[in-house]
Structure 1
Amino acid sequence: MPAWARKSTVVLLIAVLALAVFGTTTQTWLSVSLDPAQAGAGGDVLDVQGSKAATAVTGLALVALAGGLAASIAGRIARWVITVIIVLAAAGIVAAAATVLADPLAAAQGSIAAATGVSGGQAQVEATAFPFLAVACGILLALAGLLVVPAGRHWKARTKYDVAGRGTAAATAGPVDEIDSWDRLSRGDDPT
């Protein structure tokens, strides 16, 4: 099996990228220089975290993380579904972070209004490096999500039901334990 296709490598890559995106939301995305008339509310510079500037990014990062962990135990068809979920979550991360970068003042309005009590005010807003980092990690997360399908072909079967042709061998052998007896009953064989 190639090193890039190992289950642990793919799952760890998705988890690290999702946690990196989540980590960016805990940092300052926008630095707001308030109007001097509004600055009396608590200073002239307001830092806006990513979780407040783009609230969807935090949730989408957790969805991608859960998808990556689920891919480690999923079957072939479920891995396709999980891949779609991870790629859509990554696309949402990129779109939300790009929206903040496209109009930082609109993204900071809620925090400005909470700090000053005035909504719709003007301020000088500068984006930090963290929204750019979220976009980059989101793109890499989408690529890592797409890696699940080709890498999954190299992963060993996780249960006896995933192995082709094993059902007939289990039906002819005697039951090993109670679970095998129940499985034979499910197939229509009476183990007694």
Structure 2
Amino acid sequence: MTARARLISVLAVLSAGALGIISSTQTWLSVTVADGSSSSLPVSGAATIPVLAPLSLAVLAAGAALSIIGLVLRYIFGVLTLVIAGGLSYATAQVAFAPPVTAVSSTVTEATGISGIDAITDLVSDIVVTPWPFISLLAWIILIFGSIFMLFTARRWNRGGRRYDTAARREVDDGKPLDSIDSWDGLSRGDDPTAPGDAR
């Protein structure tokens, strides 16, 4: 259960962060501008929610660090990813279910040269939502549950900071062979997995 809880938490955070980065490059909205040509403009996730890409990168970095950080940082990262997930869930839900004109304003301004929310509101005739906001919303929901799960199970991942324990002590504590993350941690400390006593 200890190794499985850690693996579930790491995978939840990493998958949400990776999906957030991917979705930031995809088309979230298609806005029709009544400028005589009734042209349709694609609006990316990054243009819709400017903080989407940097926050997704932060989540991805947190997920990558979860396997090597100590107990206190696990709780800090758990709270951090939970706050990010809550904020992005709220922003993404707004875009998915009732996209505001502000979500497309930067794209419209870049294409037409017209600025000002009132002028852009008069110019925009239709906003169509693609599946990407809903896919991203699902990722943030996964991140919320993954963060909560992390906060509830972080203390059981190891005792005393597995990063600083010997490989033998970790196996005795858990009563099971080391997983791939444990083995990688041991190698990063200079432990020799082929040395006598480490053989599995």
For normalisation by structure 1, the TM-score amounts to: 0.73
Mean Cα displacement is larger for which, 151-160 or 57-66? 151-160
Highest Rg: 1 or 2? 1
Q: Tell whether the 8 Å contact from 1:57 to 1:96 is kept in structure 2 after alignment.
A: no
Alpha-carbon distance, 1:2 to partner = 6.0
Residue 152 (str. 1) matches residue 154 (str. 2) = yes
Tell me which residue corresponds to 1:126.
128
Describe the superposition over 1:87-142 as per-residue Cα deviations: whole angstroms up to 9, x where unpaired: 01111211221232333422101101110112322331111111111111111111
Q: Percent identity?
A: 29
Tell me which residue corresponds to 1:116.
112
Alpha-carbon distance, 1:81 to partner = 0.7
Q: How does 1:2-41 map to 2 (within 5 A)?
A: 4-5=4-5, 7-37=6-36, 39=37
Write the letter of the residue equivalent to 2:146.
A
For normalisation by structure 2, the TM-score amounts to: 0.70
Q: How far apart are the structure 1 equivalents of 2:21 and 2:155?
A: 29
- Which secondary structure state, in structure 2, belongs to the residue aligned with residue 55 of structure 1? coil
Unaligned runs of 5+ in 1: 164-192
Unaligned runs of 5+ in 2: 170-200
Write the letter of the residue equivalent to 1:128.
T
Tell me which residue corresponds to 2:88.
93
Aligned positions, number:
157
Alpha-carbon distance, 1:3 to partner = 6.6
Q: Structure 1 stretches (4+) deviating beyond 4 angstroms?
A: none
Q: How far apart are the structure 1 equivalents of 2:144 and 2:58?
A: 12
- Which secondary structure state, in structure 2, belongs to the residue aligned with residue 159 of structure 1? coil
Q: How far apart are the structure 2 equivalents of 1:56 and 1:65?
A: 14
Instruction: Report the aligned-residue RMSD.
Output: 2.2
